[in-house]
Structure 1
């Protein structure tokens, strides 16, 4: 009897993870060198730069070394190559050039959180909490991090305002409450779309001035009320907000605080307001599989981005990320319901929650 040949097990998944570390540093190094900005200066010609020209533009001495880096970026779909010349891809032009309106160039540096969090992740999982030094480092890093998220969140906020208007949930003189306002991107974007609106922006004392200054810079300072402190504890007007924003805050909190925060947002919105939750939901808890259910492997693969960001939270905060099942349960407990979800920008998940009272559902 002949034995059918077996397919050898590939180490590719292991190499992909190892190379993920290298990929991050390839991108980070290119940003440090100003490589994308150098190519952006030539973008109108459409011809790109060869390795020698690129080396000269970024102040490098060896074109051969620049070639290795640039070709790696081509392999990562962050540059394109035309013979011996390198050009920006559309994604790089939009998100990695430092002066682009939607630039993520600074976010690349800060999104992974404190560097010390990652070598200590095993101990964090053993003990159930990050080391105090990691938590302290995150607190110091947070102002820079929220500034870095601003361009992306401004785009999401503008799209959400348009969606709320389409649904008839965006009055001409709205009252906005932004819990964990960060850079102020949400507050300022919403105020700019409604010249007669007012906003209450809440964040920690070392972060709130960033949002307040952003409003002043845009001529919106007189329409923003800043409130410094813990968003679960500071006094706020109940049932008066037309829109309450929870943008990327629930996933950084332990489950009980996240539940309380959503309940408070529902209370602030009252019967006729809407709570806007923006986050990266990880998969709902596993359950016994039934016919027609999606395989758990496929579920996790599809949620790779969201799971990696949840792990980022775990590495440096008390949060584990948030699931859609959590949002449904917490909303129901608060007398509200998750009424819809959409993705205005790729990988930016928005969920709308409204009170279940007759006034809101009539």
Structure 2
């Protein structure tokens, strides 16, 4: 086989393990397996699923070494239990479920590329509410390991009250409050996200420093009287026109001299680097009407059009943890 042919075929084969592990996460199988292991008939009964389907899925998981198989019993390896247990602080389950939702969109990429907007997409086996919950909690999965470090790189920051726009489960709000003990925060998002953020804030013992505000940044004005606004992983889901409107709302919410910080992927001028950014633009094509990934020059233009001054790249990474800062005059 030509090496080029093998490279192409190997590169495009990655969907299979993703689908196997993701299906088990969507079905909640891992938490149904006790420490002493389980047989397939027992697992199928507990999952309310077919014997044939669970047999094939469990064997595939064992082949991938995600489960261990001993005789007719299946076990979650002890080293994977924290990652595959839904209630563990180290859980990856929400992101695995969210990736299955992403795959449903990605499978229609040819249609979306031809039309220029997403194809109709069905919900997962957990339903639309389950997909939504997985999305919000997945944001915590990918951010909680890096948030404190990114915030440290931004220091010193001087603000008394921050606004976290579209804050999701509050992961970044809490990182800033840990870094700046005298600061307070307003956490702003839709009802389902705010509800989850309240729970997370209680767990983090930070609820007394957070004001929870329900709202939609596409429709509503933002809470005002703040001197720092965090816009994290939002710009990519918008068109540039939508970003300009959001930045104008941020400008109006900020006190004079305040700062906006935008965390997102920042593309180079060719739009081919970083690779994660080029691939994430595909994710926006198949999942949003007009989202994409943007260059630093585009962010500068849009921030200055909204009234901000001195937009500059404070942190550059190859992923979504680049940060752009700008000032309100």
Q: Deviations over 1:174-230 (max 9, x none)?
A: 311011011122223333444443211221234332223433454433432233222
Per-residue deviation, 1:108: 1.0
Partner of 1:185: 171
In the superposition, the TM-score normalised over structure 1's length comes to 0.67
Q: Distance in 1 between matches of 2:217 and 2:57?
A: 49
1:236 aligns with one of 196, 219, 223: 223
Q: Distance in 1 between matches of 2:312 and 2:132?
A: 29
Partner of 2:262: 277
Per-residue deviation, 1:258: 1.9
Q: Distance in 1 between matches of 2:81 and 2:182?
A: 35
Larger radius of gyration: 1
SS of 1:313's equivalent? helix
Q: Distance in 2 between matches of 1:260 and 1:97?
A: 41
Per-residue deviation, 1:24: 0.6
> Structure 1 residues 38 and 185, CA, compared in 2 at 3 Å: closer, same or farther?
same
Q: How many residues align?
A: 309
Q: Distance in 1 between matches of 2:251 and 2:145?
A: 24
Alignment root-mean-square deviation, CA: 4.3
Q: Distance in 2 between matches of 1:37 and 1:182?
A: 28
- 1:157 equivalent to 2:147? Answer yes
User: Does the Cα contact within 8 Å between 2:232 and 2:263 map onto a contact in 1?
Assistant: yes
- 1:247 equivalent to 2:232? Answer yes
User: Does the Cα contact within 8 Å between 1:266 and 1:354 map onto a contact in 2?
Assistant: no
Q: Distance in 2 between matches of 1:353 and 1:254?
A: 20
Partner of 1:354: 326
Partner of 1:292: none
- 1:23 equivalent to 2:17? Answer yes
> Structure 1 residues 107 and 210, CA, compared in 2 at 3 Å: closer, same or farther?
same
Partner of 1:130: 118
> Structure 1 residues 338 and 134, CA, compared in 2 at 3 Å: closer, same or farther?
farther
> Structure 1 residues 16 and 152, CA, compared in 2 at 3 Å: closer, same or farther?
closer
Q: Distance in 1 between matches of 2:185 and 2:142?
A: 20
Partner of 1:147: 137
Equivalent runs, 1:158-307 vs 2, <5 Å? 158-164=148-154, 167-171=155-159, 174-232=160-218, 233-237=220-224, 240-241=226-227, 243-270=228-255, 272-281=257-266, 283-286=267-270, 299=273, 303=275, 305-307=276-278
Q: Distance in 1 between matches of 2:255 and 2:310?
A: 10
Per-residue deviation, 1:15: 4.3
Q: Deviations over 1:7-31 (max 9, x none)?
A: 67524313421x2220212322554
Per-residue deviation, 1:251: 1.0
Q: Distance in 2 between matches of 1:205 and 1:157?
A: 23
Structure 1, gaps ≥5 residues long:
1-5, 43-52, 81-85, 288-295, 358-362
Per-residue deviation, 1:67: 6.4
Partner of 1:335: 309
> Structure 1 residues 201 and 356, CA, compared in 2 at 3 Å: closer, same or farther?
closer
> Structure 1 residues 21 and 115, CA, compared in 2 at 3 Å: closer, same or farther?
closer
Q: Distance in 2 between matches of 1:280 and 1:94?
A: 29
User: Does the Cα contact within 8 Å between 2:312 and 2:326 map onto a contact in 1?
Assistant: yes
Structure 2, gaps ≥5 residues long:
45-50, 69-74
Q: Distance in 2 between matches of 1:139 and 1:169?
A: 37
Partner of 2:61: 69
